[in-house]
């Protein structure tokens, strides 16, 4: 799953998350132990909720594929 966000360190702060910038403003995220894409997307969206609240001027777009 990819997300446009400037917060790789925020995502990597949890031990079950691996995030790496793969392009300008693009971060690829893998939640370890998550096998079903819909659940992984929901979990990532919930985790980014706090980050969105702290960074209202920066948009996030979740892209699967």
- Give per-residue pLDDT as tens, 2-27: 554 467 888 898 999 999 988 887 88
What is residue 35's predicted lDDT score, i.e. its pLDDT?
A: 74
Given a contact cutoff of 8 angstroms between Cβ atoms, the answer to whether 5 and 31 are in contact is no
Number of domains present in the structure of the chain: 1
Q: What's the whole-model pTM score?
A: 0.73
Mean confidence (pLDDT) of the chain: 81
Containing structural domain, residue 37: 2-63
């Amino acid at each position: 799953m990819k997300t446009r966000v400037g917060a790789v360190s925020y995502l990597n702060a949890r031990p079950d998350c691996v995030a790496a910038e793969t392009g300008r403003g693009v971060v690829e995220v893998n939640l370890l132990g998550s096998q079903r894409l819909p659940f992984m997307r929901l979990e990532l969206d919930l985790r980014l909720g706090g980050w969105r609240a702290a960074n209202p001027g920066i948009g996030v777009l979740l892209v699967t594929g």
